[in-house]
A and B are shown apart, each in its own frame.
Chain A
């Protein structure tokens, strides 16, 4: 596959994934004697030095160790929510597209209702209750509101795939509905599923980081968003220790970028017209 965007997106994401997974080990190796993530492990607000590359934060935690340990939870929330949203979206979209008629109409109205729902205000309200929520509940909730877009994409595809001649052929050859769905229709939808998964992950991470930034995220989670939000609200900027905010922001942006690149690459795979190589000039 000679798709530059897809390849660069996947390599960037893999690189971040490696950093995320090895991060806790690296921080352990850097600080062998003390737990750098314990409250009051060091003095508060120490400026960046060789020992503390990003300084220490308001709780006396080493900011660099915190950063290394925050990447994985952030990715996990996005990924879990993305998977949940994709599964729900595929189920709803597939049912609507494959059964059609009244079921389709009902599901479409339901999908549109969830789609226009102002999600941010809802999460702000829930956010006041999310203080003691764990990572899995939060991801579940983010996923539950992230599916309508996927459902629409999948439904449109199923509608068009269902009418193709090869499906008629398969029906004539005696495959049952189960086989038609899993062996004939789903493989054709895989690029769309990948696309939706990346979109869902972006959406969930976007909301999570936004909530944390205005101080309404889940308090006990150590995500990149939480690190940014805490730094912002506890005056790290006015002390001039920009690194503690810029570093997690940079990593979040790279994460978003890699997912967007994967998205755009997949879009080019199933919509050949977007490829710049084809030309009329």
Chain B
């Protein structure tokens, strides 16, 4: 990234100041050193000095960390809640889509889910903006809350915040949920083909007991593992949603920082995204053995 963006802050400062000012800021930001030393220093500060990403060029004297932590709750809140809600809804719907797979209604629902899943979430969001936001005027489609309101713990503000979040949430939840439902359906159908289910049926168990204890428990494991992977890798997937709905999250910050070539902020966000992947896969590695006895105890 350093190589790509180079010493662009020089360009920025040059617009407003003379060579002396440029030199002053270059020294202040450490841009007068060779780029590989800048790069090493950056990582020393990040890992040894408590996530110190350095100053933000565009909002100096604010630091890059302050900017990132200021926007992080939006992205995390939007993304994590959308992810969990869609996973729960999609899994439940998928279980029944697999279980009742020969029912006529199920075929219809499956078709709709395939269509939804094939739609990129930002295009779905765009359609929501057009039809729900502008044409029907049911819900606000712009910004995180009413621009006239000061952020506070008041009923008016929370009400406005929730209303503004409905459309971005919907565009994520419906598209992601459809994907979860489809994959859960496939998993269920795979498990339903196993011999032990035939045996359970032969033993005369109640269909619901078979569904709950035999089919669902086994089909759920890969689904849970997939949740972990997706939790990490698609954090960046909300960035475009944030931009089109004007939510002040990491995605919007990233675009802004790009415009200013503020690469301390950019690198900070990228490091956060990578941390998110690693953390999610660690958490799931710890949780999976609790649910699947076969993975427990690796000493042979």
**B partners with A:** yes
Whether B277 contacts A116 by the Cβ 8 Å rule is: yes
Nearest chain A residue, comparing its CB with the CB of B277: A116
Task: Check B130 against A245 for contact (C-beta < 8 Å).
Answer: yes
Q: With A116-B233, A276-B189 known to touch, is A121 a contact of B269 (CB < 8 Å)?
A: yes
Complexed CA–CA distance, A121 and B268 (Å): 12
Give the distance to chain A from B67, nearest Cβ to Cβ, in Å: 16
> Can you list 7 A-B contacts with CB-CB less than 8 angstroms, sorted by A residue number?
A118-B236, A128-B259, A214-B243, A257-B118, A260-B114, A261-B118, A280-B197
B118 near A214: Cβ-Cβ < 8 Å: no
Does A118 lie within 8 Å of B273, measured CB to CB? yes
Given A249-B123, A261-B114, is A242 in contact with B130 using a C-beta cutoff of 8 Å? yes
B240 touches A273 (CB 8 A): no
Q: Which residues of B contact A210 (CB under 8 A)?
A: 120, 122, 240
In this complex, the member of B131, B237, B240 whose beta carbon has the largest number of chain A beta carbons within 10 angstroms is B240
CB distance from B11 to the nearest CB of A (A): 13
Smallest CB gap from A255: residue in B: B118
A155 to chain B, nearest CB (A): 18
Closest to B238 in A: A120
Cβ < 8 Å to A, chain B residues 99-152: 101-102, 114-115, 117-120, 122-123, 126-127, 129-131, 134-135
Interface string of A107-125 (1 = CB under 8 A from B): 0000000001011110011
Assembly CA distance A280 to B101 (angstroms): 12
Within 8 Å CB of A209, what residues of B?
120, 122-123
Question: Is A49 on the interface with B (CB-CB < 8 A)?
Answer: no
In the complex the two chains form, is B270's CB within 8 Å of A249's CB? Answer: no
Q: Does any Cβ of A come within 8 Å of B160's Cβ?
A: no
Query: Are B193 and A273 interface neighbours, CB within 8 A?
Result: yes
Chain B residues within an 8 Å CB radius of A281: 102
The residue that A237 contacts in the complex, of B5, B115, B134, B186, with Cβ under 8 A, is B134
State the Cβ distance, A156 to closest chain B Cβ, in Å: 15
Contact of A264 among B114, B270, B273 (CB under 8 A): B114
A252 within 8 A of B: yes
**Chain B positions within 8 Å of A124 at CB level:** 239, 254-255, 258
State in angstroms the CA–CA spacing of A214 and B238 once bound together: 12
How near does chain B come to A142, taking the closest CB pair, in angstroms? Answer: 15
Cβ-based interface call for A84 (8 A) = no
**In the bound complex, how far is the Cα of B114 from the Cα of A260, in angstroms?**
8
Return the CB mask of A251-281 against B: 1 if under 8 Å, else 0.
Answer: 0110011011100100000000110101111
**A242-B135 in contact (CB<8A):** yes
Cβ of B58 to closest chain A Cβ, rounded Å: 14
Digit string of B262-278 for contact with A (CB within 8 Å is 1, else 0)? Answer: 00001001100110010
Chain A residues with Cβ under 8 A from B244's Cβ?
213-214, 232
The chain A residue sitting closest to B270, CB to CB, is A121
Cβ–Cβ < 8 Å partners of A252 in chain B = 120, 123
The answer to whether B114 touches A274 (Cβ under 8 A) is no
Contacts of B192 in A (CB 8 A): 280
With both beta carbons as reference points, the residue of chain A lying nearest to B242 in the complex is identified as A214
User: In the complex the two chains form, what is the Cα distance from A116 to B235 in whole Å?
Assistant: 12
Q: Which residues of A contact B197 (CB under 8 A)?
A: 280
Among A121, A232, A256, A260, max chain B CB count under 10 A is at: A121
Which residues of chain A are within 8 angstroms of B41 by Cβ–Cβ distance? none
Flag whether B198 is at the interface (Cβ < 8 A): yes
Which of A116, A125, A280 lies in contact with B4, CB distance below 8 A? A125
Interface residue B1 (Cβ < 8 Å from any Cβ of A): yes
A2 at the interface (CB under 8 A from B): no
Chain B: minimal CB distance from A206 (Å): 5
- A249-B190 in contact (CB<8A): no
Q: Check A173 for interface membership: any CB of B closer than 8 A.
A: no
B119, B201, B240: the one contacting A213 at CB < 8 Å is B240
Residue of A nearest to B194 (CB): A280
B131 neighbours in A (Cβ, 8 Å): 242
A228 on interface, CB distance cutoff 8 Å = yes
CA distance A210 to B117 in the complex (A): 16
A216: CB under 8 A from chain B? Answer: yes
Closest 5 CB pairs of A and B: A257-B118, A120-B236, A260-B118, A256-B118, A118-B273
